[in-house]
Structure 1
Amino acid sequence: MTAVEFTNQVQEISVTLRPAAMTLTRDADDARDLVQETLLKALLNRDKFKAGTNMKAWLYTIMRNTFINNYNKITKRSTKIDSTDYFQYYTTDDSFITYNQATATFMMADINRAIAGLNEDFRKPFVMYYIGYKYLEIADQLQIPIGTVKNRIHIARKELKKYLKIYSTN
């Protein structure tokens, strides 16, 4: 097979490589790069292709292997951890503290008290929304405009946030 015939066949098949590259990479730019790298490797290694065999399968194999090699390089590069930073992070971060059931009980009691402390006009739409009602359903059931429902839920959230700021993580 001449170099021109080989190049023409590679060009014809390259169109079918793009969807497979997209499936592998899940990113349009990365897929284009993968196809380009595959075609470059195929053209550079033309002498390794055996005439009469399936060129499409050969190109797909090059593409798959290129993807796997690139993926392995990326994961190896990103998994190196400096153990001193690792231990320092996990020993000083409070988010890894395990709380017992008593803490959750106190929190729930505070949340329930805060909700009970809301004005009835705000509490009712908020509780309905919390248990799963949609804005339109709440408006129909309470016979108030949907904008009022949204406003009351918003105000209820602000009040609860103010009352429960001791539990804020920020």
Structure 2
Amino acid sequence: MSTVEFNQMLVNNAEFLKPFAITLTRDSEAAKDLFQETLFRALANKDKYSVGTNIKAWLYTIMRNIFINNYRRKVKQNTIFDSTPNDFLINQTQSVVANNAESNLRLKDIQEAIHNLPQIFRNPFLLYFDGFKYHEIADMLSEPLGTIKSRIHFARKLLKTQIERH
């Protein structure tokens, strides 16, 4: 098939692609871009077209593949478009300073709450807090696994109520 024949066949069947592009993109500008990209790829790959193949199906496949690849690329980039005005940043010259005193007081409250736990709950909780797994704690304390899980659970509940009171 000559280049002129291929180009004529492409022009004759190109109009069928426009509604398909709008269906895929749901945006007229994006549909125009997809349409142009499809025709460009078809022209660039005319040597891959087999004579006798349904030209419409070939063009639809090219368009669909371009759309899918573009979609995957956008998802991978995780692009977020923010169209809100950023006026509130114009005169912002304030700086945020961390308040270590407040966080140190909070840490002291937590440490005090842990220290005030009954020993039966405190020991398993501290071992769990240090990174040991339930079964390791059970082996260390020679207690059943369910007992250790229960004690750690109750220690958490007690800590939560004690810290909420402060």
TM range (shorter): 0.5 to 0.7
SS of the equivalent of 2:117 reads coil
Distance in 2 (alpha carbons) for counterparts of 1:67 and 1:145? 56
Query: 66, 89, 94: which one pairs with 1:63?
Result: 66
The structure with the largest alpha-carbon Rg is 2
Q: Give the 5 Å matches for 1:89-100.
A: 98-100=97-99
Tell me the equivalent position of 1:158: 157
Deviation at 1:99, TM superposition (A): 3.5
Distance in 1 (alpha carbons) for counterparts of 2:140 and 2:124? 10
Tell me the equivalent position of 1:105: 104
Taking structure 2 as the reference length, what is the TM-score of the superposition? 0.53
1:81 aligns with 2:76: no
Distance in 2 (alpha carbons) for counterparts of 1:119 and 1:164? 15
Deviation at 1:48, TM superposition (A): 2.4
SS of the equivalent of 2:112 reads helix
1:130 aligns with 2:132: no
Number of residue pairs the alignment of both structures matches: 119
Distance in 2 (alpha carbons) for counterparts of 1:155 and 1:80? 48
Superposed CA deviations along residues 11-63 of structure 1, whole A, max 9, x for unmatched, are xxxxxxxxxxxxxxxxxxxxxx79xx9xx959x63762453369xxxx69x73
Distance in 1 (alpha carbons) for counterparts of 2:133 and 2:42? 66
Change (3 A) 1:83 1:156: same
Percent of aligned pairs with the same amino acid: 31
Change (3 A) 1:97 1:150: farther
Change (3 A) 1:47 1:146: closer
1:144 aligns with 2:139: no
SS of the equivalent of 2:146 reads helix
**AA of the residue aligned to 1:51:** K
The 4+ residue runs of structure 1 with deviation greater than 6 A are: none
Deviation at 1:165, TM superposition (A): 1.5
Choose between structure 1 and 2 for higher RCO, CA contacts under 8 A separated by at least 6 residues: 2
Deviation at 1:143, TM superposition (A): 0.6
Distance in 2 (alpha carbons) for counterparts of 1:139 and 1:47? 68
Structure 2 unaligned blocks of 5 or more: 7-23, 26-30, 50-61, 90-94
SS of the equivalent of 1:133 reads coil
Structure 1 unaligned blocks of 5 or more: 4-32, 88-95
Change (3 A) 1:41 1:83: closer
Tell me the equivalent position of 2:119: 120
Query: 43, 47, 51: which one pairs with 1:48?
Result: 43
